[in-house]
A and B are shown apart, each in its own frame.
Chain A
């Protein structure tokens, strides 16, 4: 019987130094520009995976997950899901798909161009994992689409709807990284290590409370692969920091930048799921953020890698402070655009507001009046899109719409607007990268609601208010 170590050595043997073309033509140094390491061949992949092991493990996982989802569907599981939760999943799955598909394509490039053979091998398996995840999300949407509106045109919405533009921006950004190590930093460290526990463990735990057993099962089987991806990121980060202290400034920049992007584009919007779309709640988002991101990710990383000079993310304090309001600000904003959404919104109940008052000390003061006015009959609908941040593509409404921290910079004679210091800081470091995006707010300036809906591929009665809340 061939053992794991032997199989892995065989994979490592497959790399060769080209001689008919310059090595630089096959592995252009621009792909790892600014990163220093003496001997890429000594780099080790923490998992030592072989093909036969991979398909054996993954087939077992699939044999467990897919029948569970099929049974859930066959025996009316979707009909027993909480309606509010279902509306939230209409937003969650297209965003997750964005992430997985972007990760798939990004890892195809890392596995082709990374200078370390072991990293190329690890990225290879990650790329095919991401195909699994993206298709599992589609399986979920395919199942839910049979029972409700709001899933049937998700691929078009992810290209054209303002609600999904931030995720499009984030994962395009990872795909487009010039340096493969920036891809690893953005994806494997910030997406996978920092956020997947929150998304694929924290959210399913709330989903189960709201009757979504298939969704919970799907996210948990996804997370079983993510642990491998996290190890790749952690091993890469440590190796680069240990290998050469000249790598520190670039890595610190990537940590600062991607931490903020992930906080803004995943952390803030995700809060509306456990805090609002979950009728039956567990932990408030603020506490989940503290547990998964601050205590586990940041503290763990600083403890582990602080000795190499790595500092906590530059905008950590700002992110923590924002979580006091971010879920509430975004839910309010979505409510104001309920006539332009593919999911339905609702007015928080008394029970919801008790929960907010208990877990968010400033909720009543900062957000309570808005809902009082809604209850008094003000629909709060807005006729045109809000101003969107040049970098993250989210509305410039943070921390609260009444007092947003809007920033601006001039670039090539034009003013660019940002939602935060973090996004402005990123833009000013890489203006070429982020200056060409034309946000949907500008594309749709002067259009009326039917025109905006048509542009965003919204048909029929999509959006609006959930009647049975």
Chain B
């Protein structure tokens, strides 16, 4: 075996590049400085008896591979959205559909950013360099989704208001897509279909146990709402022949599948380390699962898209249950 770091010696297979760059690097809990915020203590979470540095993200991404991956992804997605917007494809969509989709996509951009903020907390306080990195890359991915979703919501909204075709610049002083306020923000703050989700995210941002944040956000919200978003956006955009929304949905899901993957691995890992952690996880699930279902039901009811939302919600419930069964047994 090639020479590696001491903490990998004695293993049968050599460590991967991901492992050498990510694992075993945490400072530890014996702090030299003490404040009310503190550095890291085992009671930052109720999950106990876990050898935190043994965690592995199944995606095995580190900074170099992640930034290369997302650079390629952004080029692909950016080219599609730019073309759709500038070559008049948005103007060919059904205005009513575009308006509804713009409100949904724009509103959900805020949810993505809320998830990013929640995972920033996990990144800061978790007791493992590998968990911290998985959370950190998720934070970045969520920002990506939020920015792209807002961009696309603006484009869809512009198309839905079209009096004429093409990419003709508006006359000076004329209202742009968001000049009369911010429809995406208005949807996030006021649209009834988005309020249960906003409430759930705001509640998650007040949690203090970083393990509970993972469950409340990645299991109960993301585990349910991301499959719903994928199904709904892909299905309805297919019917509209709207390749750009479909591309956005596909790109978001590619990242989200990775987030759900590390979360599933995390749940399995903490239970394998100490079976008593199952009860802790279950109590968090009992506390937060209802908020996820409420958010899903409200979204499906508020943005029915001719029954597509109900079908997407059914798929999402099944997927979440399947993932939980796989992870928790």
Contacts and interface: CB of A to CB of B under 8 A. Distances in A.
Interface in A401-455: 432-437
Contact of A20 (B64, B132, B185, B202): B202
Interface string B180-206: 001011001100000000110011011
Contacts of B146: 11, 14
B206 A25 contact: yes
A interface, by DSSP: helix, strand, loop or mixed?
Answer: helix
B45 interface: no
Interface in B54-89: 62-64, 67-68, 70-71, 74-75, 78, 81-82, 86
B71 A26 contact: no
Interface in B1-18: 2-7
A19 interface: yes
A115 B315 CA distance: 39
A155 B24 contact: yes
B28 A433 contact: no
Contacts of B184: 13
Interface residues of A, number: 74
A13 B150 contact: yes
Given A66-B64, A112-B120, A156-B6, A176 B33 contact: yes
B261 to A, nearest CB: 19
Contact of A433 (B34, B124, B203): B34
Nearest to B64: A62
Interface string A101-119: 1101110110110000000
A235 interface: no
B78 A52 contact: yes
A1 B84 CA distance: 11
Contacts of A132: 63-64, 67
Nearest to A111: B120
B25 A51 contact: no
Given A172-B33, A437-B33, A59 B71 contact: yes
Contact of B25 (A62, A155, A173, A178): A155
A450 B292 CA distance: 57
A463 B63 CA distance: 33
B interface, by DSSP: helix, strand, loop or mixed?
Answer: helix
A56 interface: yes
Contacts of A26: 202, 205-206
A436 B82 contact: no
Q: Which of B63, B185, B198, B202 is the most central at the interface, judged by chain A CB atoms within 10 Å of its CB?
A: B63
Contact of B189 (A19, A50, A154, A434): A19
Contacts of B6: 152-153, 156
B35 to A, nearest CB: 5
A124 interface: yes
A48 interface: no
Interface in A158-189: 158-159, 165, 168-169, 171-173, 175-178
Nearest to A141: B5
Contact of A124 (B71, B143, B151): B143
Contacts of A158: 27
Given A10-B147, A11-B147, A59-B67, A135 B21 contact: yes
Contacts of B3: 145-146, 152
A2 B148 CA distance: 10
Contact of A10 (B123, B133, B150): B150
Nearest to A121: B143
Contacts of B68: 59, 62-63
A127 B202 contact: no
Interface string A359-372: 00000000000000
Interface in B203-229: 203, 205-206
A456 B147 CA distance: 47
A35 interface: no
B169 to A, nearest CB: 13
A145 B4 CA distance: 7
A7 interface: yes
A289 B182 CA distance: 51
B39 A155 contact: no
B121 A112 contact: yes
Contacts of B30: 159
B308 to A, nearest CB: 27
Nearest to B206: A25
Contacts of B123: 104-105, 108, 127
A159 B40 CA distance: 13
Given A55-B67, A59-B67, A135-B64, A20 B199 contact: yes
Given A51-B140, A112-B117, A56 B63 contact: no
A135 B188 CA distance: 37
A101 B27 contact: yes
Contact of B151 (A2, A142, A176): A2
Interface string B102-125: 000000011001001100110110
Q: Which of A18, A66, A435 is the most central at the interface, judged by chain B CB atoms within 10 Å of its CB?
A: A18
Given A145-B3, A393-B32, 4 more contacts: A16-B110, A20-B199, A98-B27, A105-B123
Interface of B: 2-7, 20-22, 24-25, 27-28, 30-39, 62-64, 67-68, 70-71, 74-75, 78, 81-82, 86, 109-110, 113, 116-117, 120-121, 123-124, 129, 132-133, 136, 139-140, 143-144, 146-148, 150-151, 154, 178, 182, 184-185, 188-189, 198-199, 202-203, 205-206
13 contacts: A1-B82, A2-B78, A16-B188, A50-B147, A58-B71, A101-B25, A104-B132, A109-B120, A128-B139, A142-B5, A165-B32, A177-B37, A434-B33
